[in-house]
Amino acid sequence: MSMKYFDSDYLEGCAPEILEAFSKTNFEQTPGYGKDKYSDSAKEKIKAACECPEADVWFLVGGTQANSTVLDSILKVGEGVISCDTGHIAGHEAGAIETFGHKVITIPHKNGKLSAADVKKYLVNFYNDSSYDHIVPPGAVYVSHPTEYGTLYTKKELEDLHTVCQEYDIPLFLDGARLGYGLATPGTDVTLPVLAKTTDAFYIGGTKVGAMFGEAVVFPKKDIVNRFFTTIKRHGALLAKGRMLGIQFDTLFTNDLYLKLAKNATYELAVRFSLPAFFISVFIHCHPLIQYIIYSMHSEIQFFPFLYEPLRILLCLLRKADDLRNAEVY
């Protein structure tokens, strides 16, 4: 059996259905810059999946590009974006947001997430500071789903964040580079229609979920950005052969392929990878000799917590593996 690697989502080309669609449409002649029938069709399918017919949908090539282009278009000159300190834009985008003149304002994370209470506290303190005119104004809030820790927001947590944003009249932007895995996780109550209601902008990551490249940006309410096409162009992000993006999303949103691919990846990880990892972790945590060594080094630590954490993980993984075994897998 060949080795499975879980290092990143960029190890393979794309779903065979997409290659087939490229090949089938290769010699057709269509207008450039995303004004083709495949992009139109993909947009309609995404709007239907989001249950949001009034949405505005755009296709970009990659995640960093999507984050910097969307944020540059929703922020005003000199405004910053609030993110938790572990947010992708805060640590792993080489200053792409700052390149366009927008500071990333960080708040400590909780399990990789940004909490509504912490955002509210930041905004209250900001406007209570008599010298706030001298500080970068917060003009948007950024989260990713799943987070950098692999944790997921709940619908309620997103609603609470959105309420705080609405109170301060700033948009909530959700980075969905890995969104498929979040949507495919059993038990989650965050769906595309929920995202269309609880955010002002989000994107559906294709590059990490079956596409060769591509992210579908969704603005649930049309008027939130001005001249987005031109902003895309200014960012060097406008793909001349835009239909290559349209064809991919049209394929991913036909017969639920996007979710099937994400479900399959989640299944591989949970069933084939996490269970062995769990047993290694149980061994490390529970082996009497290892416990003894750790205990003698930290006598204030009780034995019980060493057992508690693996048991909690076991219950969680068994439930997940069971859900996935019963799920229809691609």
Ligand X SMILES: Cc1ncc(COP(=O)(O)O)c(C=O)c1O
Indicate the residue among 69 and 207 with the shorter CB distance to ligand X.
207
Say whether residue 43 binds ligand X (CB under 6 A): no
Site string for ligand X, 304-323 (x = CB under 6 A): --------------------
- Cα dist from 255 to 189, 193, 330, whole Å: 21, 18, 11
Candidates 36, 157, 175, 200: give the one binding ligand X (CB under 6 A): 175
Say whether residue 177 binds ligand X (CB under 6 A): yes
Indicate the residue among 39 and 147 with the shorter CB distance to ligand X.
147
Say whether residue 88 binds ligand X (CB under 6 A): yes
CA–CA separation, 125 and 138 (whole Å): 12
Burial 158-196 (b: 16+ CB within 10 A, else e): bebbbebbeeeebbbbbbbbbbbbbbbbeebebebebbb
CB of 325 to ligand X, least distance (A): 27
Piece of the chain touching ligand X by CB under 6 A; list 57-65, 271-279, 281-289, 299-307: 57-65
CB of 73 to ligand X, least distance (A): 17
DSSP secondary structure letters along 261-294: HHHHHHHIIIIIIIHHHHHHHHHHHH-HHHHHHH
Token couple for 263: 């479900």
97-136 residues near ligand X, rule: CB under 6 A: none
Token couple for 117: 């209470």
Give the sign of the dihedral formed by CA 294, CA 295, CA 299, CA 300.
Answer: positive
Nearest to 38 by CA among 257, 251, 255, 259: 251
Q: Is 60 left (phi over 0), alpha (psi -120 to 50) or beta?
A: beta
Indicate the residue among 36 and 93 with the shorter CB distance to ligand X.
93
Site string for ligand X, 143-172 (x = CB under 6 A): -x----------------------------
- Which single residue is written with the structure tokens 């792993």? 92
C-alpha angle 85/125/144, rounded to 5°? 30
Amino acid at 326: N
Candidates 162, 178, 260, 320: give the one binding ligand X (CB under 6 A): 178
Indicate the residue among 93 and 278 with the shorter CB distance to ligand X.
93
Site string for ligand X, 191-230 (x = CB under 6 A): ----------------x-----------------------
Candidates 43, 56, 60, 64: give the one binding ligand X (CB under 6 A): 64
Interface residues with ligand X (CB under 6 A) are 62-64, 67, 88, 144, 175, 177-178, 207
